[in-house]
């Protein structure tokens, strides 16, 4: 029986990231084959990023990899930057997005640690 789309788990994944690979492995070990979005190849739109931030209950900087070289190069630590500026930067430079992010319906978790993705399996 096919899973309903609302029940589908989507994982924003970077195959080069150990935490992301571990989160994916944990889901698969439990018989869940999520829809994989390799966000470095298919960056989420600004609207998608806004939705993810709302679902996660986070402000943009909390979802940014602040140690990335581009974070400093773009001056993203400037407190004067608006939310939309930070979201645009994540869209234009997806390497800035912390991973993995898993989404199921109207719930999302940041897989740090990877076991957090299992929270989406219960209802």
Residues with active-site annotation: 17
Q: Are 94 and 87 in contact (CB under 8 A)?
A: no
Distance of CA 13 to the CA centre of its chain: 7
- Closest by CA to 96, choosing from 85, 107, 108, is 85
Beta strands in the chain (DSSP E): 9-13, 35-38, 101-104, 107-110
Give φ, ψ of 74 to 5 degrees: -85, -5
Cis peptide before 100 (omega within 30 of 0): yes
């Amino acid at each position: 029986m096919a899973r309903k789309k609302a029940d589908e788990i989507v994982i924003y994944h970077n195959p080069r990231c150990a935490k992301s690979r571990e989160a994916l492995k944990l889901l698969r070990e439990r018989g869940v084959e999520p829809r994989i979005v390799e966000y470095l190849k298919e960056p989420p739109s600004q609207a998608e990023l806004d939705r993810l931030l709302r679902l996660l209950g986070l402000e943009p900087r909390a979802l940014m990899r602040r140690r990335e070289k581009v974070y400093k190069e773009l001056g993203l630590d400037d407190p004067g930057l608006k939310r939309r500026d930070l979201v645009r930067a994540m869209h234009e430079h997806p390497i800035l997005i912390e991973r993995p992010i898993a989404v199921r319906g109207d719930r999302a978790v940041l897989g740090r640690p990877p076991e957090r993705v299992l929270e989406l399996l219960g209802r």
